[in-house]
Amino acid sequence: MEESAKSVMEPLAWIFQLISGLILTLLITIHFYLTHMTSHTALHYNEVVARISTPYYKFFYIVLLFFVSFHAFNGLRAIILDTNFGARNRNSVNAMCYTAFIFIFLYGTFLVIIL
């Protein structure tokens, strides 16, 4: 089981990196459009809080955060594993990157929920 778990992690991480990348091109475009390309006031405090208070935006932000944190920290993991340091410390690098992904996702979700 452990051998199979090792050998499926990399292919699954790769597939999900590509899927998250694909989804992010859409979500980030929407996010950027709404915040930087609609009106002069889109980034004022009141409007930001008004957006983040609605359930639809909360859901959108949580989904965006999930994909972006996975994509970012899996990408970082791939970069570190490209080095000899990463080769020697493979398990630690994997653990730290996925921990960072979960931490960033949970912290961001916490922010979205309380605001």
Residues of the shown chain interacting with other proteins in the complex, contacts defined by CB under 8 A:
4, 7-8, 10-12, 14-15, 18, 21-22, 24-25, 28-29, 32, 36-37, 39-40, 43-46, 48-49, 52, 68-69, 72-73, 75-76, 78-79, 81-84, 86-87, 90, 104, 107-108, 111, 114-115
Q: Which is nearer to other proteins, 83 or 99 (CB)?
A: 83
**Amino acid residing at 109:** T
Distance CA 89, CA 66 (A): 26
Closest distance to other proteins from the beta carbon of 49 (Å) = 7
Q: Which is nearer to other proteins, 49 or 102 (CB)?
A: 49
Q: Which is nearer to other proteins, 43 or 63 (CB)?
A: 43
Q: How many CB atoms lie within 10 A of CB 65?
A: 19
3-state helix, strand, coil split of the chain in percent (to 5) is 90, 0, 10
Instruction: Tell me the CA end-to-end span of the chain in Å, nearest whole number.
Output: 43
Q: Which is nearer to other proteins, 40 or 56 (CB)?
A: 40
Closest distance to other proteins from the beta carbon of 98 (Å) = 14
What value, to the nearest 5°, has the Cα angle with vertex 110 and ends 39 and 80? 90
